């Protein structure tokens, strides 16, 4: 009997090691079916290592006890092959039965089990059959067949992360396009001006459904739309400033329909000392110079997105204060809309976390989902995110990271284990490891489709 192509070398808990001699055949993310007459176990490769197996094979031969004598004989005749042998470190994911795949396993593989590599197409059929709202975002590792993820699984908190240029924006835009095509509304906090380009792109095919807002042009922030503390911080009004109490009185006496024109008149006629009035008017002049305060009906704009379109707040080339004011206003309005029962909308925030006020993180991660607002956070700087994002995210799409510090932060995610995250170090361009509700809890390595829209975010080069 010829020896098997893959051999079980060691096992410990849900970790197993498989030996083989053709390194080009196996990569991190590949899956195996380890079976006997009674059951089938699914194991996934998270690391591939070379050589150093003489001791392991010697112990293995002793344990064979005739289970696979042909392989033992082969090793005896080919001792020189020990140093040419590779080791695939695998994690058991679950068992396969007539009822389908079940995560976890009560059975441990044994020497002599049949070990077969599972193709990407077979894995997709096992794990992702019959999605309610199918979205083809790429191909599964080792397969040219498209993989379809259920858009309904994004009604949660999703984190897309990876180093710059790894493919995060392509994935986010693919998700956005599929959401719009399925009639879902979305709001995009576009710090780098990438999504606004979709409106001009002839390739995307859905540019007409992109509604672009630019602060100071067709997007304004009513004074009623932001907290008093935010206005003071943005306009540099300290608590010990002469005019602080004056502004505080105005906010208390006029809870609604505030604006800079009325504020200026009220302060001028307040009867306060001339120095205090002058200082307050100086702060109002500064606020006016930002060019972003004014009347705006956010609810009306939100209603226009209901038929399947994306409201893109283009913050590219805006000052830091305008970015923060705009994001605070939008998040506050979304929460209020959700409390009125007008949620059921997707929020895309790419590199917008630096402009979130601390108190909003609890809202974005915990409260919003209960109001029907589904957050998709995209960043190449996971170290800037609070721990709660990792602990509570329901979907994780992790692209390549070379920094151990970045990987350490991502490892806080409850949906992934350290061994699986190790796969991210070996991913190629445009590849990510996906896990969570969108993959039924099974880590999948996906080659993401390029976005149909005009690319953005890349470095502008003098020489191509």
The pLDDT assigned to 354 comes to 80
Q: How confident is the model at residue 365 (pLDDT cuts 50, 70, 90)?
A: confident
- Whether 157 is covered by a domain: the verdict is yes
Domain identity same for 113 and 11 = yes
The pLDDT assigned to 78 comes to 53
The mean per-residue pLDDT over the stretch 283-296 comes to 94
The mean per-residue pLDDT over the stretch 259-281 comes to 93
pLDDT, tens digit, 9 for 90 and up, residues 25-75: 788 889 999 998 778 899 999 998 876 555 555 555 555 545 555 655 655
Residue 95 structural domain: 7-118
Q: Which of 291, 224, 225 is nearest to 262 (CA)?
A: 224
| Count of structural domains, the chain | 3
Least confident interval from 149-153, 265-269, 335-339, 449-453: 449-453
Q: Average model confidence (pLDDT) for the chain?
A: 85
Q: Regarding predicted confidence, which is higher, 171 or 343?
A: 171
The pLDDT assigned to 394 comes to 94
Q: How far apart are CA 31 and CA 91, in angstroms?
A: 9
- Whether 294 is covered by a domain: the verdict is no
DSSP 8-state symbol, 54: H
Judged against a pLDDT cut of 50, whether residue 3 lies above it is answered with: no
- Give 181's contacts (C-beta < 8 A, 6+ positions apart): 206, 308
8 A C-beta contact, residue 347 and residue 375 = yes
The pLDDT assigned to 43 comes to 93
Q: Is 295 left (phi over 0), alpha (psi -120 to 50) or beta?
A: beta
The pLDDT assigned to 421 comes to 86
Q: Regarding predicted confidence, which is higher, 98 or 328?
A: 328
Q: How confident is the model at residue 2 (pLDDT cuts 50, 70, 90)?
A: very low
Q: How far apart are CA 297 and CA 213, in angstroms?
A: 12
- Whether 324 is covered by a domain: the verdict is no
Q: Which of 353, 311, 328, 286 is nearest to 214 (CA)?
A: 311
Between the alpha carbon of residue 229 and those of residues 189, 270, 320, 382, the distances in Å are 22, 21, 17, 28
The mean per-residue pLDDT over the stretch 271-286 comes to 93
Domain identity same for 260 and 348 = no
Domain identity same for 359 and 433 = yes
The mean per-residue pLDDT over the stretch 321-328 comes to 92
Judged against a pLDDT cut of 50, whether residue 292 lies above it is answered with: yes
Domain identity same for 352 and 439 = yes
Q: How far apart are CA 168 and CA 171, in angstroms?
A: 5
Domain identity same for 425 and 365 = yes
- Whether 156 is covered by a domain: the verdict is yes
- DSSP H helices, 158-209, are 168-181
The pLDDT assigned to 79 comes to 53
Domain identity same for 96 and 157 = no
Secondary structure (3-state) at 324 = helix
- DSSP H helices, 128-186, are 168-181
- Whether 331 is covered by a domain: the verdict is no
- Whether 453 is covered by a domain: the verdict is no
Domain identity same for 411 and 353 = yes
Strands 373-379 and 86-97: unpaired
The torsion angle over the Cα atoms of residues 317, 320, 322 and 326, rounded to 10 degrees, is 100
The pLDDT assigned to 1 comes to 32
Task: Dump the DSSP string for 85-101.
Answer: -EEEEEEEEEEEETTEE
Q: How far apart are CA 332 and CA 432, in angstroms?
A: 32
Q: Regarding predicted confidence, which is higher, 152 or 61?
A: 152
The mean per-residue pLDDT over the stretch 90-111 comes to 82
Task: Dump the DSSP string for 325-342.
Answer: HHHHHHHHHHHHHHHTT-
* Residue the block writes with tokens 């700087």: 381
Q: How confident is the model at residue 404 (pLDDT cuts 50, 70, 90)?
A: confident
Least confident interval from 58-62, 173-177, 308-312: 58-62
Domain identity same for 30 and 114 = yes
Domain identity same for 14 and 111 = yes
- Whether 265 is covered by a domain: the verdict is yes
Q: Which tokens in the block code for residue 248?
A: 């505080």
- Whether 30 is covered by a domain: the verdict is yes
The pLDDT assigned to 197 comes to 84
Of 89, 118, 147, the one marking the end of a domain is 118
The domain that contains 397 carries what CATH number? 3.40.50.300
* Residue the block writes with tokens 């956070």: 377
The mean per-residue pLDDT over the stretch 330-341 comes to 91
Q: How confident is the model at residue 231 (pLDDT cuts 50, 70, 90)?
A: very high
Domain identity same for 14 and 88 = yes
Judged against a pLDDT cut of 90, whether residue 120 lies above it is answered with: no
8 A C-beta contact, residue 338 and residue 368 = yes
- DSSP H helices, 272-357, are 274-289, 298-304, 320-339
- Give 31's contacts (C-beta < 8 A, 6+ positions apart): 42, 43, 44, 45, 93, 117, 118, 123
Q: Which tokens in the block code for residue 78?
A: 């080919």
């Amino acid at each position: 009997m010829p020896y098997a192509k893959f051999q079980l070398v060691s096992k410990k808990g849900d970790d197993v090691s498989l030996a083989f001699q053709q390194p080009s055949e196996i990569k991190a993310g590949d899956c195996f079916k380890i079976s006997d007459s009674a059951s089938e176990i699914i194991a996934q490769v998270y690391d591939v290592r070379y050589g150093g197996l003489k001791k392991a094979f010697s112990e293995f031969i002793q344990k064979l006890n005739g289970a696979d004598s042909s392989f033992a004989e082969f090793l005896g005749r080919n001792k020189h092959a020990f140093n040419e042998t590779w080791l695939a470190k695998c994690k058991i994911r679950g068992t396969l039965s007539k009822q389908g795949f079940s995560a976890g396993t009560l059975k441990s593989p044994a020497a002599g089990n049949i070990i077969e590599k599972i193709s990407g197409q077979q894995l997709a059929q096992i794990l992702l059959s019959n999605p309610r709202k199918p979205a083809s975002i790429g191909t599964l590792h080792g397969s040219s067949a498209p993989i379809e993820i259920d858009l309904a699984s994004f009604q949660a908190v999703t984190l897309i992360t990876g180093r710059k240029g790894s493919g995060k924006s392509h994935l986010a835009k693919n998700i956005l396009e599929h959401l719009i095509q399925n009639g879902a509304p979305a709001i995009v906090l576009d710090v780098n001006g990438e999504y606004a380009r979709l409106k001009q792109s002839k390739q995307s095919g859905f540019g007409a459904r992109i509604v672009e807002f630019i602060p100071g042009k067709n997007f304004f922030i009513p004074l009623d739309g932001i907290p008093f503390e935010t206005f003071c911080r943005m306009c540099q009004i300290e608590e010990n400033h002469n005019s602080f109490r004056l502004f505080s009185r105005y906010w208390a006496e006029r809870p609604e329909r505030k604006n800079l024109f009325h504020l200026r008149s009220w302060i001028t006629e307040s009867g306060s000392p001339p120095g205090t009035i002058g200082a307050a008017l100086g702060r109002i002049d500064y606020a006016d110079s930002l060019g972003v305060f004014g009347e705006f009906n956010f609810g009306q704009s939100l209603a226009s997105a209901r038929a399947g379109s994306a409201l893109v707040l283009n913050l590219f080339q805006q000052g830091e204060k305008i970015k923060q004011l705009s994001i605070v206003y939008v998040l506050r309005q979304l929460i209020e809309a959700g409390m009125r029962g007008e949620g059921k909308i997707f929020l895309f925030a790419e590199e917008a976390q630096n402009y979130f006020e601390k108190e909003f993180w609890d809202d974005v991660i915990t409260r919003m989902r209960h109001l029907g607002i589904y957050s998709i956070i995209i960043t190449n700087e996971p170290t800037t995110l609070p721990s709660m994002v990792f602990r509570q995210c329901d979907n994780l799409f992790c692209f390549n990271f070379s920094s151990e510090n970045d990987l350490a932060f991502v490892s806080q995610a409850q949906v992934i284990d350290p061994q699986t995250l190790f796969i991210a170090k070996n991913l190629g361009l445009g590849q990510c490891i996906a896990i969570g509700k969108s993959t039924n809890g099974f880590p999948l390595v996906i080659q993401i489709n390029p976005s149909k829209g005009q690319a953005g975010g890349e470095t502008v080069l003098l020489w191509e």
